[in-house]
Amino acid sequence: MPFHIPNSRNDAQNLDAQDPLAHCRSKFKLPDHTIYLVGHSLGPAPFSALARVQTTAETEWADGLVGSWNSAGWIDLAQQAGSKLAPLLGVNADDVIICDSVSVNIFKLAAAALPLCRSMTIIIEDDEFPTDQYIAKGLSDLSDAEFHRVPHGQGFDALATGGVLIKSAVNYRSAEIIDIRAYEKKAQKSGALIIWDLSHATGIITLNLTDKGAKLAVGCTYKYLNGGPGAPAYIYAHPEIVSDLISPLPGWLGHKSPFAFERDYEPADGCARFVTGTPGILSLSAMSGALEVFDGVDTGQIMKKAQCLSEICLARADTMGLTSTSPRNPDQRAGHVSLLDDHGYPIVQALAARGIKSDFRTPDTIRFGFSPLFLRFVDVWDTMDALEDIVTTKSWDTDVFKHRQKVT
């Protein structure tokens, strides 16, 4: 896709006219007069997801009742959805299972991975997403594993301990992309294992996990995958080690023959062993339907457009004197940009009052998420126009905009 930083709104519209992903916008139900820059937190609703939920609720559940576990294939939906997700991860279709939440899945994988490592050590950096840190510490408290929280950037060297490292492939604050291949080479030499949190990576960057040597990963599906609020998460485990992994939560649907109702647990083959209880079929159906928006779409084009959109944002932020913690090299930056301002929260609220949705992370970070399947270049141009006006005029400086809500 030809790219340059537009000099005007008309220039941005011309980029939209040349965009090979422009047709994807029509796949989403988007509110009128809204610029949605929070796809890195909760993706908008694809029509395919809404249609799938309607069919599941009104036909399969209301009419088919319990028989839909067989007739509608509910019993296999977690595996089928995992197979649909696998190409976005760059792994085999049989090596992904949809289940539970990211927090639960980190716990399960970390507990299962520890016995395979050279040392019983759980490693995490101090700027990782909080739930990852809480789960790591909680597992350590429940087990004989040592807990090592290391400063940002030192997780790589800490792999030398030979333990389990929990690491985001994309940093949730800065959008920095981590070199998975380099980390995995270090882990292999050290007798360590890495659990990759792909929550801010899947659906926005090209992953190629198998090619890069990744062994274990988790991720959510409600961000760039647009699976809906509270959509189930997923687990990836490399086929070379999955049979050696013992789930600490051996639920009945993770049994090799769940409807044999045997008294003793025997794990299912592959990643299916990590299923615990009965899946939420409505949310799983929505998530599965949402993946249809990626049909026929080149993930390389998605990543390239995300880089282009964020480059426009950063270039214009520079002219306003705003600082960013996001990498300036577009090849090291994923799908969002973080801008710093002491008045970040009321600025985000002032933008929302103009129909521009973004989010805030304490203490001073404004995040703009650039989801390429539905965002336009002109949306970024208009956002930066609005941001410049709000910052220049200080229209954010009102009690209404300063009032903190529970969700920021």
Catalytic residues: 129, 197, 222-223, 367
**CA 316, 320, 325, 328 torsion-angle sign:** positive
Pick the closest to residue 373 from 282, 271, 301, 324 (CA basis). 301
For 267-369, list the strands marked E by DSSP: 323-324, 336-340, 356-357, 359-361, 365-369
- Coil/strand/helix, residue 33: coil
List the strands of the sheet with 234-237, edge to edge: 96-98, 234-237, 216-219, 193-197, 164-168, 121-125, 146-150
End-to-end CA distance of the chain: give it in Å, rounded.
34
Pull the structure tokens for residue 114. Answer: 């520890």
- Amino acid type, 198: L
Residue 132's identity, in one-letter code, is: D
130-142 vs 102-113: helix axis angle to the nearest 10? Answer: 40
